[in-house]
Amino acid sequence: MLYKKTAVIGHPVDHSLSPTIHNHWIKNLALNIEDYKKIDVHPNEFSDEIDNLIDQGYYGLNVTVPLKELAYKKADRLSDVSKATKAVNTLVFKNGQIFGTNTDPVGFESSLAKNIIENKIKNKKCLVLGAGGSARAIIYALDKMSGKISAYNRTEEKVVLLKKQMKINIENLDATEVNKKLEEFSFIVNTTSVGLSSGPQKDLVDFSNATKNCFVYDLIYKPKETGFMKQAQANGLSTQNGLNMLIGQAAASFYIWHGVNPEVSVDLIQNLATD
């Protein structure tokens, strides 16, 4: 008997590598579980689609952009991390209730080398681009790592709301300020959809203003080198994409659903490199 149907939902979701990761673990661990799917869910239909998926027997879902804040509102019960971030990336349907948690913060922190945390984040100025569900997870993690956080979003009101809800000291920058102050930051992270093949191709910041020891991180992992990363590299900056964060948050979700800590093997990395 197959059980514990799981999937990732988002809009768009075609780019997601989550099925490659989860299905690799399901196969290698010989679990009696249906293949992990990817399902496009429009934000306007979110609540009804969740109900439909529960009726179809789904046990758990990963939630990606732009649905993380909607998932937070849909959940009956929430983890402390989800309460703090006001965003959910992992849902569990059990005993007639919807439980929501957020494995993005632990996935993000686990993806960073120790020297990056110590030399670029701890007690250093960090810039977060964006103010959606992913940004909330990153801000939560940076705050736990003792980063001094500034944020820029085209809609400034979203940063104001985020700051109020999360109760974290965040400097809210406008478009002019962010480029004037860029040289102050040792860590810059993009949480927006800029760089996705289906997303807008626009420059977020002028990297010529950045200090040369600044480390640039993009949550996007497909393409492996986004336009955002290439602009940073063209100005001599070191970069990292979001693949290791994806794997880290996936492993945490997998454990929540199946009670098994999956191995991040060389085979998995090779599969992701060719997918």
Q: Active-site residues: which are they?
A: 68
Q: Are 40 and 10 in contact (CB under 8 A)?
A: yes
Residues 6+ apart with CB under 8 A from 223: 195, 197
CA distance 141 to 174: 23
Provide the 3-class DSSP secondary structure of residue 164.
Answer: helix
Find, among 238, 245, 242, 239, the residue nearest to 221 by Cα: 242
Q: Are 211 and 183 in contact (CB under 8 A)?
A: yes
Provide the 3-class DSSP secondary structure of residue 55.
Answer: helix
Q: Phi/psi of residue 139, each to 5°?
A: -60, -40
Beta strand 125-129 with 97-101: parallel, antiparallel or unpaired? unpaired
Strand order in the sheet with 125-129: 170-173, 148-152, 125-129, 187-190, 215-218, 238-240
Token pair 């999956």 is found at: 262
Burial class (CB in 10 A: 0-12, 13-18, 19+), 100: buried
